[in-house]
Structure 1
Amino acid sequence: MNRLTARWADTATGGTVFSAAGVWPLLAFLADGASGAARAELADAVGLPADQAAAAARELLAAMGAMPGLRSALGLWTRRELALREEWRAGLPADTHGVLTDDLPAGQRALDTWAAERTGGLIERMPVALDADVVMVLASALTLRTEWPRPFDELMLSPDAGPWQGRRLAGLHRTGVRLDRAGVASGPHGYVTELKVPGDNGIDVHLLLGEQRMTPGQVLGTGLATLARRIPVVPSGQLPYGDVGPGLRIGQQPCATPRPPELSVTTVAYDMGARHDLLDQPGLFGLTTAMDTGDGHFPGISTAPLAVGKAEQSAVAQFGALGFRAGAVTAVAPAPGGARPDLRCTTTVVTARFDRPFGFLAVHRESRLVLTAGWVTEPTPYR
């Protein structure tokens, strides 16, 4: 799944948020029921042989359901006249199958209600719209929430350089003694500063600031490579004095009494959303052949010829002083065809500053599974 996240991140060109964890199970179940070129393309996107994909998707959904702070759900709705193959339907989680009625507005309201309920209101509508050609909807919903054991202090931040120069932004600041929370990775396209913000339930948010010339995909790709342990991160406590990475500086500060080294973090709050039409990049998701309505591609799902007519995702992410939360709903719709003190000593201060566009990865700490990823270009204004 992280491989799909990396491939998706590589296509990012501006502010966005997305969840490969919301797409991957749907592609896996589609691969299980596909044939021919569509089956091969979906298997490549999933990264597993098609005959193993459904079992892996069930295992994944069960694992995510057991992760604290994470809720996931799968839904399937079909027209009454569409006959599903029982062996495929039985491979889905229990109690996922509903009926699409001929009353399209009522059916749309039911799908929107499902999306809102499964995401706690973060996503209010199903990303696909029903029409007369939609005979089936396969959807996933995912939400994650975590709180910071040590909240940030809120302040007004006005960067003096970069794309956010002069803007009044909702800034966040805190200090700590864990220098290993910040570090620098040397990726194939340049240096990336990584800051881990640990949540209280095993979900961490990794903030990633690259060199100014780097693209969102290059920065996020470096972060994903560090998760896979293909690229090491040098902790800030092992770095020399000076400007050691993007937005990261290590210096000395006078102090009245001896005290341990300190990590000082300044970043911005953000509340962002994005909508993705997966069929705009069908090769990324293994849907190139599957979207050809001139033929049927899913004989393992139904005896009726089916092709993918719609595939979309809505995603949101919110990062604030108290914690982080994110949600995503993905749907695939097959269709027919003070005074100066006496300073006697010094201490080391590591300063990490995220005051220009940066990336983030919301990660399950134990498995290193990326649940949500994004690129922040529009932080929350200061009010």
Structure 2
Amino acid sequence: MSTRAANALTARWAATLDNKATVLSGAGVHPLLAVLARYADGPARAELSAVVGDPTGVDLTDSPSTRMALGFWTRRGLPLSDRWRTEVPAALRGELTGDETVDQAALDAWAAAQTDGRISAMPVRATTGTAMVLASALSVLTTWQNAFHSTSCRPTEGPWAGRHLAGLRRRSRDLSTLRVTDATAGPVSLLTVEGTDDVDVVLALGPAGRGPAEVLPAAIDALDGHAPALPLTAGPGVSEQIVDASDATPELTVSTVAFTVDASHDLLRQSALFGLTTATDPGGDHFPGITARLFITQAVQNTTATFNTTGFSAAVVTAFAMRVGAMPRPATVRKRLVSLTIDRPFGFVAVHRPTGLVLVTGWITHPDLM
């Protein structure tokens, strides 16, 4: 999985969001698209390859905080290509019996096992006509290097005015964790909350009234360090003052909110974004590297993420269901004391620190209540 291609997919996806609370993972979709591209042909291969880019580059095997699993199930008796049988490890392959109850139970059990029960069911539904299911599961769990303290948060203005929220507060001497990037939407404040292992979470606060479609892509683009930077005091939610202290070391105080956010995404509603337009055509022979006349009927991602005093956790399951089509028809091509206060809707980006891979990103409109 390419960090650059997966992050670009996440940014493009985030740019289509409305202002509702959500969470998503391009890193959860990318491995499945890469598998499909490898075994596709014709226009379907071209579309998928344009999204996938270089399919190699990121290995999460040794990560102490992040797990990625893949699973592929094919219907009993489906004639599979020698290439598929040879190249795909037997440990990743399962069988669909054609009994909806039995198959769904097996798929749901896999999703629950790979996410420690945080996602209890496979996003797609098995039917008697399902020929193949491809799935990925991504789990993230980290604790903070510098924990937050619980506090009450009751904003006096903005969308959360008057609400009693589960506030989080902490103080540190590391101002380098806060930066302000100059984006098309205006300045965006980015706070890196460092995990004890190899995952950080970046909180992103844009100008009032700016939503996830503008703030999240700006945050992702800034991860490589090449985005234009602004003075800290130019950042939304940031203030600075000179205070009396026992030493001259600058400090940073952060006030934010705890949250849990869940989402389900039907990827086929934006099939072109994922390179899946041709692959859903029942009349084509899109994946001869697997079997003849396969086409995609379902593509769904379910995601959950939690941010609290001690750490961050997330779970993602992405799945594609496929059927076998009828006879093919011709296909068509398509101390200074700096303070950051986050007391209105904001975004977050969880990043695998060694590679820069965006694991999950999301938008918070309903934080936890006291």
TM-score normalised by length of structure 1? 0.90
CA separation in 2, counterparts of 1:92 and 1:274? 30
Which amino acid is the alignment partner of residue 217 of structure 2?
G
Structure-2 residue corresponding to 1:23: 29
1:316 and 2:321 correspond:
no
Structure-2 residue corresponding to 1:248: 238
Structure-2 residue corresponding to 1:341: none
Structure-2 residue corresponding to 1:279: 268
Which amino acid is the alignment partner of residue 134 of structure 2?
L
CA separation in 2, counterparts of 1:127 and 1:298? 22
Structure-2 residue corresponding to 1:91: 87
Contact 1:226 1:233 in 2 (8 A): no
Structure-2 residue corresponding to 1:8: 13
Report the more deviating stretch, 324-333 or 210-219: 210-219
CA separation in 2, counterparts of 1:90 and 1:117? 26
Report the more deviating stretch, 150-159 or 317-326: 150-159
| CA offset digits 1:316-349 (Å, max 9, x no partner) | 1000000000010000111122xxxxxxxxx421
CA separation in 2, counterparts of 1:281 and 1:86? 32
| CA offset digits 1:69-117 (Å, max 9, x no partner) | 0111100111112122131343335501011112211111111110000
| CA offset digits 1:141-160 (Å, max 9, x no partner) | 01011001221000111111
CA separation in 2, counterparts of 1:224 and 1:217? 12
Structure 2: stretches of 5+ with no match in the other structure? 1-5, 326-334
Structure-2 residue corresponding to 1:182: 178
Structure-2 residue corresponding to 1:369: 357
1:307 and 2:295 correspond:
yes
CA separation in 2, counterparts of 1:89 and 1:358? 46
Which amino acid is the alignment partner of residue 364 of structure 1?
H
Structure-2 residue corresponding to 1:112: 108
Structure-1 residue corresponding to 2:251: 262
* SS at structure 2 position matched to 1:25: helix
TM-score normalised by length of structure 2? 0.93
CA separation in 1, counterparts of 2:37 and 2:76? 23
Pair 1:93–1:19, CA change in 2 (3 A): farther
Q: Across the two proteins, how many residue pairs are aligned to each other?
A: 355
CA separation in 2, counterparts of 1:3 and 1:92? 27
Which amino acid is the alignment partner of residue 285 of structure 2?
G
CA separation in 1, counterparts of 2:81 and 2:252? 57
| CA offset digits 1:31-88 (Å, max 9, x no partner) | 111111111111111124xxxx4xx2xx64xx11222201111001111121221313
Contact 1:135 1:335 in 2 (8 A): yes
Contact 1:136 1:335 in 2 (8 A): yes
CA separation in 1, counterparts of 2:173 and 2:353? 20
Which amino acid is the alignment partner of residue 85 of structure 1?
S
Residue 259 of structure 1 and its aligned partner are, at CA, apart by 4.4
CA separation in 2, counterparts of 1:19 and 1:101? 30
* SS at structure 1 position matched to 2:271: coil
Structure-2 residue corresponding to 1:82: 78
Contact 2:76 2:98 in 1 (8 A): no
| CA offset digits 1:197-226 (Å, max 9, x no partner) | 000001100000011232312111111111
Structure-2 residue corresponding to 1:33: 39
* SS at structure 1 position matched to 2:91: coil
Which amino acid is the alignment partner of residue 264 of structure 2?
R
Across the aligned residues of Structure 1 and Structure 2, the Cα RMSD in angstroms comes to: 1.4
Report the more deviating stretch, 80-89 or 110-119: 80-89
Residue 188 of structure 1 and its aligned partner are, at CA, apart by 2.1
Contact 2:239 2:339 in 1 (8 A): yes
Pair 1:116–1:233, CA change in 2 (3 A): farther
* SS at structure 1 position matched to 2:254: strand
Contact 2:140 2:313 in 1 (8 A): yes
Structure-2 residue corresponding to 1:149: 145
Contact 1:244 1:250 in 2 (8 A): no
* SS at structure 2 position matched to 1:90: helix
CA separation in 1, counterparts of 2:152 and 2:101? 45
- Which of 344, 347, 366 aligns to 1:378? It is 366
Q: Between the two proteins, what is the percent identity of the paired residues? A: 46
Query: Structure 1 residue runs of 4+, over 4 Å off?
Result: none
CA separation in 2, counterparts of 1:45 and 1:364? 21
1:222 and 2:226 correspond:
no
Structure-2 residue corresponding to 1:343: none
